[in-house]
Amino acid sequence: MAIRRGRGVAAINYPTGMNLGGDPTQALVHSTPTGNFMVTLSSVDLGQGMKQIMAQICAETIGVPSDRVVVDTADTDTGPHCMGTFASRGTHRAGNAVIQAAREARQVMLEVAAEELEVNASDLETDGQGNILVKGAPQKSISIFDVALSAHFKRGRSISGRGMFLIPRSYPEKETGAMKPSTCYAHACTVAEVEVDDETGEVTVLTVKNIFEIGRALNPKMVEQQLIGGSWMGISHALYETTEPYYPNRDHGGTDFNQYLMPGPGDLAQTEIIVLERPSADGPYGAKGPGEMCANPQIPAVANAVFDAVGVRIDTLPITPERILRALKAQAPN
């Protein structure tokens, strides 16, 4: 018996947003009488944290702490249109829509503050803590709480805004394929280290070192969540997952979590994640979509590492112990 070790690398890029564009998202933002802000959307939170990220984007743009923003989403009677949560588009598309809506609301807020402070709105700035200050004279200020009260009860203004983000649809040219699939791309490079048992074909992923470039980590802890989970899913795709394990025989597909295989908590690779940020030109605060691409580079990196370990290429996913063992046996006479 021999446990053989190998390592492999892969580098990838990934488009943000629906292929070829044409996928709108809209947002509404308004203040309550006491200066809290509501973001209304119809975007869906699948668990990636859409609500929290939209709150932070709105808060940054308005100039309040994010806990003063409430995100109300996914009720079609109230929320404006969103194409949906897919294609790594949520943060990018909805985030841009929220920024536009929040900017419009912020402008009204500053106009009301300007009237209260008897200055020009263009001379005002926010401190991010819930106050509006005169640039260069911060002792002259008003709280957003008071501005909202004034807008509602004294000045008859609606501190609100509408946001819309649409990348115009690109139609591929028939013969050349000239097209614009996406406006920005995330990047990754992964190095995986594996051990392969050459008598059983079993693979243990020892380490994965993932470098992800995601434009901007809007909330680093939430980015980390997605990247760790994605890296796990990539390894799972590489080595375990299939609904038809013996295709072209279509029988024997797993129907439960015992028989549809995914790595368990005792199968985890030691996972290192490093994030680079090259802000995208059109992303909200430079963000790109990290949610999908983070599960891609592990697959070829593991495949290449298996080859490095035992010298057989498994070019069909998943790279099961059976496929490795068959390849090793086919290679054996040489």
Beta-carbon neighbour count of residue 266 at 10 Å?
Answer: 5
**How are strands ordered across the β-sheet holding 69-73?**
69-73, 37-41, 25-31, 160-165
Q: How far is the CB of 118 from other proteins (least distance, A)?
A: 27
- In the complex with other proteins, the residue whose CB is nearer, 77 or 118, is 77
Q: How far is the CB of 34 from other proteins (least distance, A)?
A: 19
Q: How far is the CB of 296 from other proteins (least distance, A)?
A: 5
- In the complex with other proteins, the residue whose CB is nearer, 29 or 152, is 29
The tokens describing 302, both together, are: 């593991």
- In the complex with other proteins, the residue whose CB is nearer, 136 or 265, is 265
For 192, phi then psi, to 5°, come to -115, 145
Q: How far is the CB of 137 from other proteins (least distance, A)?
A: 20
- In the complex with other proteins, the residue whose CB is nearer, 150 or 307, is 307
Q: How far is the CB of 153 from other proteins (least distance, A)?
A: 28
- In the complex with other proteins, the residue whose CB is nearer, 8 or 161, is 8
Collapse the DSSP code of 126 into the 3-class scheme (helix H, G, I; strand E, B; otherwise coil) and give the result: strand
| Long-range Cβ contacts of 147-152 (<8 Å, 24+ apart) | 147/35, 147/109, 147/112, 147/113, 147/116, 148/31, 148/32, 148/33, 148/34, 148/35, 148/36, 148/109, 149/33, 149/34, 149/35, 150/112, 150/115, 150/116, 151/31, 151/108, 151/109, 151/112, 152/33
The CA–CA distances, whole Å, from 246 to 152, 166, 239, 256, 317 equal 66, 43, 15, 17, 12
The enclosing H or E element of 112 equals helix 95-117
How far, in Å, CA of 233 to CA of 261, rounded?
A: 11
In sequence order, the 6+-apart residues with CB closer than 8 A to the CB of 327 are: 312, 313, 314
Active site residues per annotation:
292
- In the complex with other proteins, the residue whose CB is nearer, 80 or 150, is 80
Q: How far is the CB of 331 from other proteins (least distance, A)?
A: 15
